[in-house]
Amino acid sequence: MKQFDAAYVKELHRVLSERHIAAKLVCCDEYSGEGLGQWSIVDAIRNDPSLKAAVDVVGVHYSVVDGKYTTPDSARTLNKPIWSSEDQPNSGGGPILSREWQIGGRMLAKLYNRNYLEGGFTKTEIWSPVTAYYDILAAPNSGLMYANTPWSGHYIVHGKDWSVVLETIDAQQPQQITFKIKGGLAQETIHVWETNSQKTFEHVVDLAPQEGSFGYKFDPNSLYSLTTTTGQGRGAAHPPAQKSFPIPYAETFEDTPLERGPRFLSDQDGAFEVRSCLHRSGRCLEQIITEIPIPWGPLPDPFTLAGNVNWSDYRVACDIYLNRRGPVTLIGRIDSADVFRDGTARWPSGYVLTIDPDGKWTLSSAAYKAATRTLASGDVKLSDGQWHHAELKFRGSQITAFLDRQRLATVTDDSHSHGMFGIGTGWNRAQFDNLRVAKE
């Protein structure tokens, strides 16, 4: 694992300050066992005044090891906030746990308290708050809220809304607790709300303090909110029913604001933004990242995907504009895009039509932990400064590739029987327009 770069942190702080950008730096999000140690930034700050001036918050990921917090006294006495800047019910290494109450919800309720009381963390960031990405990507169903079919408006909220002030997750029996109200706090009616496997943010009782004191017997394995405020209530919204990704599908990008991403397409590397079209009117989708980033994990070539993983027989088509610096790809029957299955893979698992600026083209079958197979290849004449039309058609085990409505190849292969669609590039700019999918 890589160690944080103190010189880079100080340089970033210098540039931000020089340009009057009011940003604060959280450093350096290390995991246990990473670099010189998860908390090595603390010693570095103590020994380097300029680094101390640059860093506003110390952040670490997953600081519980073998059930114990790793927070050292040197961090607690650093006079800087410390954050658990990535956390979840497990250690972060998987598997991702369901966030419904019986599994992840109970653990999160306990985690928030323990992070503050035992770990000394004043902020906990949960990965991920919302599952708003396709299920075939890595770590499906990780969020407290599940909302990955935006075309339907459907969502599922795991855990509902609550204010955590007391949890009895590990208790084995009811406990009678007495509270004394001091320090000028309100001594009005106490409203008690409870969440557990039978109740979800349910108003269970109102308590009247007597001479500044009140008591209550708390159930085990529960989460409570006690408050003098009123007006709370469990949400009454009901989402629309979930439905499949729409087909036929058409995206012209005209309704998307410039420099924003279109609905439903999910970028997996690179950055696909709507820009003004080159050599035609209107708006197009452009991949804009041209320098290969320093990755923290797998680094496939840029691609963005959408659709339904169960689709089988369909055609996907798109107008493409290549510059002279790299290829474009049209991808179909993507049955997995979990890049963590193979850190060296360039593309997701599916069929990939690659078109180079010099006219060379390749139709391939890509799969994780397997060599990419070339199913067909060839050369065509491409004119500079011209738009072209690429298409892939799937029917049973037959795959046909087209360019400018001329058939490039028809092959038979049964490696991928179903999956989503995508478009991509190398680490080069290219534009896309009139992306369409229809049943075969």
Could you report the per-residue pLDDT of 201-255, keeping only the tens digit for each? 899 999 999 998 999 999 999 999 998 887 888 777 888 999 999 999 999 999 9
CA 140 to chain centre: 10
Q: Which residues contact 376 (CB under 8 A, 6 or more apart)?
A: 362, 363, 401, 408, 409, 411
| Whole-angstrom distance, CA of residue 351 vs CA of residue 412 | 12
Residue 102's pLDDT band (cuts 50, 70, 90): low
Decide if pLDDT at 99 tops 70.
Answer: no
Per residue in 408-434, pLDDT tens?
999 999 999 999 999 999 999 999 999
Cα radius of gyration (the chain): 27
Which tokens sit at 134?
Answer: 């396709």
Residue 104's pLDDT band (cuts 50, 70, 90): low
Secondary structure element (H or E) that encloses residue 18, with its range: helix 6-18
| Whole-angstrom distance, CA of residue 132 vs CA of residue 125 | 17
| Whole-angstrom distance, CA of residue 416 vs CA of residue 117 | 51
Which burial class, exposed, middle or buried, applies to 332 when counting CB atoms under 10 A from its CB (0-12, 13-18, 19+)? buried
Per residue in 348-393, pLDDT tens?
999 999 999 999 999 999 999 999 999 999 999 998 889 999 999 9
pTM of the model: 0.70
Residue 407's pLDDT band (cuts 50, 70, 90): very high
DSSP conformation class of 339:
G
Per residue in 13-23, pLDDT tens?
999 999 999 99
Q: Cα-flanking dihedrals φ and ψ of residue 415, to 5°?
A: -70, -35
Whole-number pLDDT of residue 158: 54
**For strand 123-126 and strand 82-87, is the pairing parallel, antiparallel, or unpaired?**
parallel
Whole-number pLDDT of residue 160: 39
DSSP conformation class of 261:
P
| Whole-angstrom distance, CA of residue 9 vs CA of residue 330 | 39
Handedness of CA 334, 339, 344, 346 (dihedral sign): positive
Whole-number pLDDT of residue 208: 94
Whole-number pLDDT of residue 177: 93
Handedness of CA 11, 16, 20, 24 (dihedral sign): negative
| Whole-angstrom distance, CA of residue 319 vs CA of residue 278 | 12
Q: Say if CB 411 and CB 398 are below 8 A apart.
A: yes
Decide if pLDDT at 161 tops 50.
Answer: no
Whole-number pLDDT of residue 291: 94
Q: Say if CB 99 and CB 158 are below 8 A apart.
A: yes
Handedness of CA 309, 312, 314, 315 (dihedral sign): positive
Whole-number pLDDT of residue 163: 47
Q: Cα-flanking dihedrals φ and ψ of residue 242, to 5°?
A: -70, 145
* DSSP alpha helix (H) spans, 21-174: 40-47, 49-54, 73-76, 106-117
Q: Which 3 state secondary structure label does DSSP give 40?
A: helix
**For strand 130-131 and strand 145-149, is the pairing parallel, antiparallel, or unpaired?**
parallel
Q: Which domains does the chain have, with CATH numbers?
A: 6-127 (3.20.20.80), 166-227 (2.60.40.1180), 249-439 (2.60.120.560)
